[in-house]
Structure 1
Amino acid sequence: MPTYIALTYTADVDWTRPEYAEEMKEYAAFGQAAAAIMKGGHALYPTATATTVRVPDGKGGDVITSDGPYAETKEALTGFYVLECADLDEAIATAAKIPAAWNGAVEVRPVVQF
């Protein structure tokens, strides 16, 4: 069966904080409902904790790091799910049930199997 990644884009918040407990219940309910096809996933800490790494001179060159995300956006990449679905239609139908789709966005992409 094909594998898809569902990238969640929402407000850039710390999902571990108590004020998000109610919303996290919605994610837990989604996780239970999609358990048969979900092969993994996690929430991510806010973009303030990110470090962007670049090696502009190519392999073996100097490593340049910068604090924060790769790009500034209104919504940030805040988590992901790995889904094993029959096809893209099933992956899209599943992504529509992820709470991030209700007030943010969910990007669904097929995973290359090596």
Structure 2
Amino acid sequence: MRRLTLAFFALLVIGCATDMDRHIGKLIPGEARDGYRILTYRVPTAPNYPLNSPDAEKRRIRWLEMELTDNGYRTDNYVIVSREAIVKPTWTEQHDLYYQLKAYKK
């Protein structure tokens, strides 16, 4: 029973940490158009969130959707127009990812 309890708390902490990491990203407002706005979402890669990892990409999209919700945009009707990785000058291969998207207010 004790092992089960410890395992549960470990998973809880890991799950919370990944959602807390979402604050490393930044939603940048752009041009308002007819009914929608062009936004840029910038988020860095990291050793635990590598550039081409499907799991890391799912987390980044989840963070993006949280940022959209926090800022009054719909998560059921947005379009990612582009995704571009820019290399950061560090001793490890890290990138800033830029997602450009069309988003609609609630």
TM-score (norm 1): 0.31
- Whose helix proportion is higher, 1 or 2? 2
TM-score (norm 2): 0.33
